[in-house]
Amino acid sequence: MQVTATSPFKHEHALDYRICESSKIMKSSPNKVPVILDSENELPGLLPLRNRVKLSCETTAGQVSKAIASRIELDRNHRVVLFCGNETVQKSASMGSLYKERKDEDGFLYIRY
């Protein structure tokens, strides 16, 4: 399934480069998936997170959202919601299953928060 939302990573790098990079990650770390994390909104006063990461196939979306919330020091009254394309991601979904279902043609899984 192709991601409908565009990522800055896609605009900055050609398709061939992105395919090569995702392939390198899959070869060097077969139990991990290449993920691009993009913030939906700019957060004032905070440094952007590293957007290209490799995550264990067993990592859940809930763990990812908790890690993002911790990194950006999000208030406990707020939460991080993850999106693949235009759909929200269930917190129980594993990165491995999301990758199989929603990876882009370039081999990356694109997640917005």
Domains of the chain, residue spans: 8-112
Fold (topology level) of 8-112:
Ubiquitin-like (UB roll) (3.10.20)
Contact 34, 18 (CB under 8 A): no
pLDDT in tens, 11-56: 999 999 999 999 999 999 999 999 999 887 666 555 556 688 999 9
The more confident residue out of 60 and 38 is 60
The pLDDT assigned to 42 comes to: 65
d(CA 102, CA 1): 5
- Enter the DSSP assignment of 7: -
CA distances 24 to 18, 28, 45, 67, Å, are 10, 6, 34, 25
CA gyration radius, the chain: 14
